A and B are shown apart, each in its own frame.
Chain A
Amino acid sequence: MRYALRRALHSLLLVAAVSLLSFLFAELAPGDFFSEMRLDPRLSPATIDAMRAQRGLNRPLPLRYLAWLGSVGRGEFGYSLAYNSAVGPLLVQRIPGTLLLTATATLAAWLLALPLGIWAASRRRAWTATALNGLLALLLSIPELLLAVVLLLFAAQTGWLPVGGMHSTGAESLSAAARLLDTVRHLAIPVAVLVLGMAPVLIRHVAAAMREVMDAPFALAARAHGVAPRRLLFRHLLPAALNPLVSLFGFSLGTLLSASLLVEVLVGWPGLGPLFLEAIFARDFALVLGVVMSSALMLIAGNLVADLLLYRVDPRIRVQ
């Protein structure tokens, strides 16, 4: 319990520090939403100054940070000048899309990586393992960007899978089951890209971690005592190999969120990615800040969950 509290507090502090730093960085940035307007000869500088004053952009920095914190407290996360709306609701619309994509991909990648990694670790000299290794190395060097475009092209030409978005047009009128199937069909390509990008890394790490514990004296002792292979794997080897894998989970989450941003933009998935890009091009700093903070929250929360899980399954941490 104390461990959980400490980790939670640490995560909170991290979020607070990230918010402060990104806010400061946004404030130090040259230009803002109105700076492009200054080029417009029809608007006098006085008008623009008045518009900035109306938005509170000319107040001193600490006051603005406090105001921003207040609006975070109200769930608004500042005011988006490009969308003329509070940032919070905009984020709330998009976060489920990103979460759905990332969570599905994380699950699929790990479900694929664990058995394959264990399999590769147990057959390290076999030609099949060598072939798998070569395939993984090739997959690792194909940019996700290329992978996504090629898959989309394939889908467009065969017509087997929908090419973009999250729902077909008119999906609202379908029955619940048909809607679910529709979403799953839309998920297939983005998830495939993310899994193909992430799984090779995971498989290699699972294999490395498993190899290490398989070579450990305790594994030999257990085998010598006649522990059944299945029990050996699930009761002895996997728990011992779990520690590096859980830190890998946090890492994989960050990578998947990043890759997901790109894939969302490519397939027009209604997640944070396209919103982020629009905000950047519109110089809508409040929205940029909101998206950055949401991504940090997702990653930090994911890491916290991983830490707590590790605490449950790995007794070594409880002793420390």
Chain B
Amino acid sequence: MKLRLTLAGLALLHGAILLAPWLAPYDYAEQHRDFPYAPPSRLHWAGLRPVVYGLVPDTGGEIYREDTSRQYPLELFIHGRLFGVAAPAVFFPWGTDSLGRDVFSRVLYGGRISLLTGLAATLLSLGLGLLWGTLAGFYGGWVDAILMRAGELFLALPWLYFLLGVRAFLPLHVSPTESFFLLAGIIGTVGWVRPARLVRGVVLSARERPFVAAARGFGASGFYLMRRHILPLTGSVVLTQATVLIPQFILAEVTLSFLGLGVGEPVPSWGNMLMEARQFHTLVSHAWMLAPGFASVPLLFGYLRLADLLLEKQHLAPVADL
């Protein structure tokens, strides 16, 4: 039951991020130059209809007041999107940033980059981990020694130093698409050692199972044994590791982009949106700029919960690696 609830929550969040172009009232790059740092729009009720008032800049600058003389109804299915208001009026559920871009829309779109980077990096990391772990565990001896010693090197550096160190030696200015692959690539390669060690442990014990010995006795090749008999046994470990790694890697993307080393403007990611939060004076009066940070919490919570539930099922200790 708990598992189903968690899965349903995660599915909802993923759905929202996936449907960003339809759920978001504006495009991620659409600028409303008249409304920089507009606060979250307030909904009013005209009878049973939700309406917004027009927004007027007050005393210049970044302070606004509502023009109560006209009401604009909040409409569903407008401009091919789920909700929005008709042209002269604006509706920013979570306010706007310094260029007058709708933060809510950008959080939804930004979730795509952050989530996708996390997922791609996890795939890469698990792939590498499966390969190395299986080879090391299955062949043992000097293969095992070399592969695992190499893995130890990857743990000799604190992970963020490692990540930034690798990032430092790659080109700084890259297009958003390139930076996506770059990020997924380096986050995945930096993080493969822990899954590899776990897979190795499973393979080591699987190798000694009677049915593996039997298949070997019938003359099965090493490759066949690994593919047919040993890999399927690693399934649950790999699945659990995925739920542990995805939130970590999402955070890694957020951190890198936040530091200005990840995905760049105008494409939003939760990390580069939070960059504005580095300027303190903007934050003090525009707290809604923290929205991407808060938006990431339920997603991370969902994955952590899922990891805990899966581990509980396997009677293992709770998640540590964060």
Q: Which residues of A contact B (CB under 8 A)?
A: 14-15, 17-18, 21-22, 25-26, 28-31, 137-138, 140-143, 145-146, 149-150, 152-153, 156-157, 163, 201, 204-205, 208-209, 248, 251, 253-255, 257-259, 261-262, 265-266, 276-277, 279-281, 283, 285, 288, 291-292, 295-296, 298-300
Number of B interface residues in the complex (CB < 8 A): 51
Q: Give complex CA distance A138, B298 in Å.
A: 9
Contact B156 A18 (CB under 8 A): yes
- CB pairs A–B below 8 angstroms (22 shown): A14-B153, A18-B153, A29-B169, A29-B170, A31-B171, A140-B304, A149-B283, A152-B280, A156-B280, A201-B319, A204-B318, A208-B318, A248-B320, A255-B158, A255-B159, A258-B159, A259-B160, A266-B278, A277-B259, A285-B168, A292-B162, A299-B158
Contact B153 A21 (CB under 8 A): yes
Q: Give complex CA distance A276, B34 in Å.
A: 38
Please pick, from A157, A262, A277, the residue contacting B284 in the complex, using a CB distance under 8 A: A157
Contact B284 A143 (CB under 8 A): no
Does B106 touch A at the CB level, under 8 Å? Answer: no
Q: Would you list which residues of chain B between 141 and 171 have a CB under 8 Å from chain A? A: 152-153, 155-162, 164-171
Chain B residues whose C-beta falls within 8 Å of the C-beta of A251 in the assembled complex: 320-321
A-B contact count (CB 8 A): 147
Please pick, from B153, B277, B297, the residue contacting A17 in the complex, using a CB distance under 8 A: B153
Please pick, from B169, B247, B261, the residue contacting A141 in the complex, using a CB distance under 8 A: B247
Which B-chain residue is minimally distant from A157 (CB atoms)?
B284
Does B48 touch A at the CB level, under 8 Å? Answer: no
Contact B293 A254 (CB under 8 A): no
Interface centre among B158, B164, B172, B274 (most CB of A within 10 A): B158
Q: Give complex CA distance A209, B162 in Å.
A: 29
Q: Give complex CA distance A51, B256 in Å.
A: 32
Does B74 touch A at the CB level, under 8 Å? Answer: no
Q: Give complex CA distance A161, B166 in Å.
A: 36
Kindly provide the distance from the CB of B285 to the nearest chain A CB, expressed in whole angstroms. Answer: 11
Contact B277 A149 (CB under 8 A): yes
Q: Give complex CA distance A296, B157 in Å.
A: 5
Q: Give complex CA distance A137, B280 in Å.
A: 29
Chain B residues whose C-beta falls within 8 Å of the C-beta of A253 in the assembled complex: 158
Contact B322 A140 (CB under 8 A): yes
Contact A146 B293 (CB under 8 A): yes
By Cβ-Cβ distance, the 5 closest A-B pairs, closest first, are A29-B169, A258-B160, A146-B293, A141-B301, A257-B158
User: Given A137-B305, A201-B320, does the pair A261, B153 have CB atoms closer than 8 Å?
Assistant: no
Contact A18 B157 (CB under 8 A): yes
Q: Give complex CA distance A205, B247 in Å.
A: 19
Please pick, from B153, B165, B319, the residue contacting A204 in the complex, using a CB distance under 8 A: B319
Does B102 touch A at the CB level, under 8 Å? Answer: no
Which B-chain residue is minimally distant from A14 (CB atoms)?
B156
Kindly provide the distance from the CB of A152 to the nearest chain B CB, expressed in whole angstroms. Answer: 7
Chain B residues whose C-beta falls within 8 Å of the C-beta of A138 in the assembled complex: 301
Q: Give complex CA distance A163, B225 in Å.
A: 60
Contact A285 B169 (CB under 8 A): yes
Please pick, from A21, A146, A280, A295, the residue contacting B297 in the complex, using a CB distance under 8 A: A146
Kindly provide the distance from the CB of A269 to the nearest chain B CB, expressed in whole angstroms. Answer: 14
